[in-house]
Amino acid sequence: MGLNLPLFYFSFFTMVFVLSILLNSLFLKFSRTLGIRKSENIVRFSDVHKPALGGITFFITFLLSLIVYSLFFESSNVLLHSETLGMLVACTCAFLMGLADDAYDTNPILKFSAQVFCGVIFIYTHIYIQLFQNIYLNYFITMLWVVGIMNAINLLDNMDAISSIASLNAMVTILCLLIIGKQSDSVFFTLILGIASAISAFLLFNWWPSKMYMGDTGTQFLGAFMAAVGILFLWGTSPEPPLPASKRVLSVLLTFALPIIDTTVVFTNRILRGSSPFVGGKDHTTHHLFYLGIKEPKIAVIYSLYSGVSLLFVVFINKYIQNWSMLYFGIFSAYFILSLITFFIINRVKKKSYEV
C-alpha cells in the first residue's frame, strides 16, 4: 500500500506517548481511591499511598493499537486471527481482574483463577510453548509460564519504576527480534510498539519519586501480554526454520531475566526462612540494594543498565550467531547463572526484621 513504515511507526509511537501522558495526567488529577489501599499482600517500599492507575492507559493503548492496525494494514477484521483474538480475550480478562483487585482487594484464589483462565485462552487459540513432542507437556509448561510471568511482573512492582523497566526492556527486545526477522508489518509489532510507548510515558509518572503505580491493573495486563508475545516470538516456532530449542530457551531467560531471577530468588529465600512465598514483603533484590546504601533512583538506573546489557545479548545471539552450538549456549548461560548468583548474594544482606 506504499506506507512508509519507519515514519508511520515513529508517528504512532509519538501519538501514543503524548496520549498516554495526557491520560495519566487526567487520571492522576481525578483519582481518589482506586489503587490506594493497604493489603498484607501488597508491600511497596514507599509508605506513601499513591493511585494505581497506570494499567488503564496500557489497556486503552492496546485497544487503540488494534484499531490502528486494522485501519492502516488489514482491510479484513484482524480479530479473525485466532492468536489476536486470544490475546484480546486473555488480556481483557487480566486487565479486569487487576482492576477489580486494585479497587476491591479480591481473593487471591480469584486472581489465580483468572491467570489460569488466561493460560487456557492462549492454549485454545494456539498460543502455546512448543518444545516437546508431547502436546500436553507443552500445555503444562505454557500454563506455568503464563501464571509465572503474570505473578513475576506483579512482584517486581515493589519500588518506583522497576516493573516498568523490566516490562519495557522485554517489549523493546521483542521489537528488535521482529525487525531482525523482518516481521515489522505484523499486528503484534504494532501492539508491542504501542505498549512500549505507553510504558515509556508512564515512566515519567512512575520514576522516583513516583506520582502513581501501575498496580495490579497494569501488572496483570502486562504479565498476560508479555507472556503471550514471549510464547509467540521467543518460545514458539515463528522463525523459519525454527530456532534450536536451547537458543529459544536462552533468549527467553535473557529477555525476562529480571522478573525470572527476582522471583526465583525471593521465593527461594522465603521458603528457606519458613515464610509463605506468596505474602508480600520488603525482601526483594531492590530492597536489599537499598539496605546496602544505594538510593532508589540509582537502583532503577542499575536495573536499566542490566536490562540493556541483556537486550544486547539477545539481539547479538539472534542476529549474528547463525551457526548455533552448545558452546554459545554455555557462554551466555554463564551470564544468566552469574546474574542469578549475584542476586542471591545481594539478598543475603541482613535486615533486622522483614515486613512480611
Is-contact 251 234, C-beta < 8 A? Answer: yes
Q: What is the mean pLDDT of the chain?
A: 88
- 85 inside domain: yes
What are the grid coordinates assigned to 279, written together? 505474602
Side chain identity at 285, as an amino acid letter? Answer: T
Separation CA 266–CA 346 (nearest Å): 11
DSSP three-state, residue 336? helix
Separation CA 294–CA 198 (nearest Å): 28
- 20 inside domain: no
* pLDDT value of residue 142: 97
- 56 inside domain: yes
* pLDDT value of residue 89: 96
Separation CA 287–CA 45 (nearest Å): 7
Q: Domains in the chain: how many in total?
A: 1
Closest CA to 287 of 177, 195, 176, 162: 162
Q: What is the pTM of this model?
A: 0.91
Residue 149: other Cβ atoms inside 10 A: 25
Is-contact 215 53, C-beta < 8 A? Answer: yes
Range of the domain at 230: 51-346
- 21 inside domain: no
- pLDDT tens-digit readout, 160-173: 999 999 999 999 99
* pLDDT value of residue 355: 44
- 29 inside domain: no
User: Which CA distances in Å does 322 have to 234, 243, 247, 336, 353?
Assistant: 16, 10, 11, 21, 50
Is-contact 248 234, C-beta < 8 A? Answer: yes
- 26 inside domain: no
Is-contact 178 285, C-beta < 8 A? Answer: no
- pLDDT tens-digit readout, 96-132: 999 998 888 778 889 999 999 999 999 999 999 988 8
Exposed / middle / buried, residue 292 (Cβ in 10 Å: 0-12, 13-18, 19+): exposed
- pLDDT tens-digit readout, 60-73: 999 999 999 988 88
- 44 inside domain: no
- 136 inside domain: yes
- pLDDT tens-digit readout, 124-161: 999 999 888 899 999 999 999 999 999 999 999 989 99
Residue 48 has pLDDT above 90, yes or no: no
Strand partners, 354: none
Closest CA to 290 of 153, 160, 164: 160
